[in-house]
Amino acid sequence: MNPSASDDEKLVLIVEDDEDSRDVYREVLRSSGFRVDMAASGLDGLNRARRGLPDVILMDISVPEMDGWAVTAELGKDPSTAGIPVIVVTAYAFPEDRIRADGLGCAGFLTKPCEPSRVLAEIQRLLGG
């Protein structure tokens, strides 16, 4: 996180184990005025979400230590994180995956490969930007 960032910059947490994807999303989001925090595992993502209370979370499902489904479920149980919108960004594109995301209260569902511009548009839709 950028400690010198202004208070009006929204914080996006990227939970993604693929370094290239994290880096691309980070650069697109930063150049669009967002602060960015990143986690390479589900457990790290859960801890960072609880500590940093981001404005929105990009959640890959296939991450090590704790998958994105479990992280999202835990976030939903915690009153301090339950209101944070989660956007699933995953290669799982089956109808049952969308149903599962809806059941967990996810605010968005994007399938990989996903253009960074689509990710940015989804974040802006949710945050009103």
Q: Is 53 a domain residue?
A: yes
Q: Is 61 a domain residue?
A: yes
Q: Is 2 a domain residue?
A: no
Instruction: Please tell me the predicted confidence (pLDDT) of residue 129.
Output: 60
Q: Is 6 a domain residue?
A: no
Q: For the segment 18-57, what is each residue's pLDDT rounded down to a tens digit?
A: 999 999 999 999 999 999 999 999 999 999 999 999 999 9
Q: Is 112 a domain residue?
A: yes
Q: Is 3 a domain residue?
A: no
Q: How many CA atoms lie within 13 A of 14 on its CB side?
A: 26
Give the DSSP letter of residue 94. Answer: S
Phi, psi of 86 (to 5 degrees): -115, 125
Instruction: Please tell me the predicted confidence (pLDDT) of residue 92.
Output: 82
Q: For the segment 65-109, what is each residue's pLDDT rounded down to a tens digit?
A: 999 999 999 999 999 999 999 999 999 888 999 999 999 999 999
pLDDT score of 6 more than 60: no
Instruction: Please tell me the predicted confidence (pLDDT) of residue 7.
Output: 52
Domain count, the chain: 1
Supply the CATH number for residue 48's domain. 3.40.50.2300
Q: Is 4 a domain residue?
A: no
Give the pTM.
0.91
Strands 56-59 and 86-90 come out as: parallel
Host domain of residue 69: 11-127
Instruction: Please tell me the predicted confidence (pLDDT) of residue 120.
Output: 95
> Buried b / exposed e across 62-97, counting CB within 10 Å, b at 16+?
ebeebbbbbbbebbbeeeebeebbbbbbbebeeeeb
Q: Is 110 a domain residue?
A: yes
Other residues' Cβ atoms within 10 Å of the Cβ of residue 126: 16
Instruction: List alpha helices for 11-115, DSSP H.
Output: 19-31, 42-52, 68-77, 95-103
